[in-house]
């Protein structure tokens, strides 16, 4: 049994890579919003409120919210986006990294940190596609070498 990416996996890898790039950017944006929310909530004792008595968008004491609690929305949306980010990371690990990169599972865990550490997902949005494309290129080069040796 061959471990590592197979030629039949390339379309799945490319689709997952596209979704990963979008999810890493969106997850990173919501993570930054979550950091702002945590500073306002735990640093100043206020939540971000939309459409309340204080105006369209305001920092309101936690116990006096009358509008939509944007802080809770940020928490919830970031959580679900992080699940999507992890799913893409898992699929990439499963079909692209596993068997092709030493310490592949640690690589999976490191990329998973992108949804937890601010700005790291933006770095991974640029770095991971380069690595995966290099893996695909090396796999295709090896396949072309095999076919050339077989025909010769």
Domain that holds residue 146: 7-151
Considering the domain boundaries, does residue 65 fall inside one? yes
CB atoms within 10 A of CB 5: 23
Mean of the pLDDT values across residues 51-61?
Answer: 87
Quote the number of domains for the chain: 1
* Selection from 20, 32, 52, 3 nearest residue 129 by Cα: 20
Mean of the pLDDT values across residues 120-139?
Answer: 90
Mean of the pLDDT values across residues 12-19?
Answer: 90
Considering the domain boundaries, does residue 19 fall inside one? yes
Considering the domain boundaries, does residue 133 fall inside one? yes
Considering the domain boundaries, does residue 2 fall inside one? no
Question: How many residues are present in the chain?
Answer: 152
**Global model pTM greater than 0.85:** no
Phi, psi of 51 (to 5 degrees): 70, 30
What pLDDT sits at residue 148? 73
* Selection from 72, 77, 90 nearest residue 16 by Cα: 90
Contact 104, 93 (CB under 8 A): yes
What pLDDT sits at residue 54? 82
Considering the domain boundaries, does residue 67 fall inside one? yes
Mean of the pLDDT values across residues 120-147?
Answer: 87
Considering the domain boundaries, does residue 66 fall inside one? yes
What are the tens digits of pLDDT across the range 67-114?
899 999 999 999 999 999 999 999 888 888 777 677 778 888 999 999
Considering the domain boundaries, does residue 29 fall inside one? yes
pLDDT higher for 3 or 105?
105
Considering the domain boundaries, does residue 1 fall inside one? no
Contact 114, 124 (CB under 8 A): yes
Is pLDDT at 117 greater than 90 in this prediction?
A: yes
Q: Is 152 helix (H, G, I), strand (E, B) or coil?
A: coil
What pLDDT sits at residue 2? 57
pLDDT higher for 101 or 28?
28
Categorize the per-residue pLDDT at 152 as very low, low, confident or very high, splitting at 50, 70 and 90. low
């Amino acid at each position: 049994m061959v471990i590592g990416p197979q030629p039949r996996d390339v379309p799945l890898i490319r689709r997952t890579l596209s979704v990963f790039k979008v999810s890493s950017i969106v997850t990173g944006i919501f993570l930054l919003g979550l950091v702002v929310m945590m500073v306002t909530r735990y640093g100043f004792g206020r939540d971000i409120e939309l459409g309340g008595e204080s105006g369209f968008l305001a920092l309101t004491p936690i116990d006096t919210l009358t509008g939509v609690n944007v802080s809770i929305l940020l928490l919830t949306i970031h959580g679900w986006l992080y699940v999507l980010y992890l799913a893409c990371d898992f699929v990439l690990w499963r079909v692209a990294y596993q068997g092709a990169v030493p310490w592949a599972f640690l690589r999976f865990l490191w990329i998973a940190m992108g949804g937890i550490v601010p700005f790291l997902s933006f770095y991974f949005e640029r770095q991971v596609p380069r690595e995966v494309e290099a893996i695909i290129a090396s796999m295709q080069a090896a396949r072309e070498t095999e076919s050339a040796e077989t025909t010769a």
